[in-house]
Structure 1
Amino acid sequence: MKEREYRSFYDRVGLLNGWNFSRLQVSVTGETWDYAEEVKNRCVKTDIVLDLGTGGGERILPLADEVMLVIGIDRSAGMIATAERNAVESGKRNVRFHRMEAERLTFPDGFFDVVCARHAPFDAREAARVLKKGGRLVTQQVGEADKANVKRAFGRGQHDGVEDGSGMREYIARLEEAGFTRIDAREYDAVETYRTVEDLIFLLKHTPIVPDFGRTDDDFRRLDAFVREFGGPDGIRTNAKRYFIAAVKEA
């Protein structure tokens, strides 16, 4: 495939998929966990749940059937607009979305039973403030060693120069400082396979894995070499490094 064909995919993929990551054809193999189940297992029917960095809401909408109310926030107006459309299409009436910074929540103290954040930064003290006593926090974040072969191929990447595991250690320390206890922390490094080139381009275009991906022709030459090296009958292989933290606000 020529570089100009990759650029054509790059130009079209956002128009076709918007910001809907649920349309990606991607599989993960190895020892992992199911983030949605981890959140669900910490909820009861009477809970009010806050989802930080909700994006298009695809990950949190299924939880609405398990709790009383879900509120999702995101700093992006485009993400909130997408989330609101997805909520209407889902028919779920107990979901609300607001544009808001996770570091400056405008909710009252002790309002939520559960706060969750998937691949989105959050402030431990703000999360503790809006949680009730005994409230639960659940988060999954991207590890520093994520997409290692992609970063090598492009010569730049998210978390460049940062020691693997440092993010998890920092969040644990901040949670402890904010008064959280019963902290459960774990991580995995699994094989992730993108079914098509379009799927991989969508990921690179809509995430900071390779900063400013697609701005130069050299990116598409590197992409072509990457696909030839790591592509196979099942798709294009990379790795998914994730860490998970659950904690309880005791006071």
Structure 2
Amino acid sequence: MKYERRKYTLSRIGNSLPVSLCIYVLIVFLICRAALTGSEAMGYNWQWYRVPQFLYRHTEDGFQLGELVWGLWGTIKLSVLAFALATILGLGIVLLRLSKLVVGSAVATVYLEIVRNTPILILLYLFYYILGQIFNFDRFTAAVLCLAAYHAALISEVFRAGIKSVPQGQWEAARSIGMSDSLAFRKIILPQTIKIVLPPLTGEAINLVKSSAIVSVIAVSELTTVGRNLISDTYMSFEIWFTIAIIYAILTLLLSILANLIEKRLEN
């Protein structure tokens, strides 16, 4: 009993937000310290005073947003569209896979195996250089479709695990009162599944935000692309990359906090 109580207490401490933030700050501090030590050995000339101009500036025309902020907006827009499409596609894939349709289940299984075992960079080249030329996709559309197709496969597995975790008695109870399977899924199974899959879905959303950096190889205007362009112009490699890393960290941390709030709201 004492062991279980101690284990529960340690679990609560490990899952608390302040402890997580402290651990994160400590890791960031150690990384920054290592970078500073390495840069001093290289004789690097730090120019942090130039970084704010890439976030905002005051000109004769008034307050203006910097390049990094516009790059962040591009990342947010890309990630939101891709995640929404990936969620819809992932739900469709899992419904096909769990259906009694032999062809539909086979198609979903083949799609999952191909996408999960293909590097996302290869998929990006496929969507832009091949499918983009056939269907006349621009860079942004190809990037959204690639990220959605890749993460839809992962999200479908999250949904499948969530649906499978709903007790079979819920299906039987719905059928006993005359509900069809489709109605039972919409009214009973899906609401319970959403509560179960919200934490792993948040993880997939964060992974998608980080994966969006890969689209810089086809010059889509987002945070990483803007950062690479600024480095080419200013040669401020460490300052720009550290700033971009901090922006990504803040964005993903806000996503985690938002997911926790939604999860608590659903529990109530």
Q: Answer whether TM exceeds 0.5 for this pair.
A: no
| Bigger radius of gyration among the two | 2
* Category of TM-score, reference length = shorter chain: under 0.3
Q: With CA pairs under 8 Å and 6+ residues apart, which has the higher RCO, 1 or 2?
A: 1
Query: Which has the larger strand fraction?
Result: 1
Q: With structure 1 as the length reference, what TM-score do the two structures score?
A: 0.23
More helix by share: 2
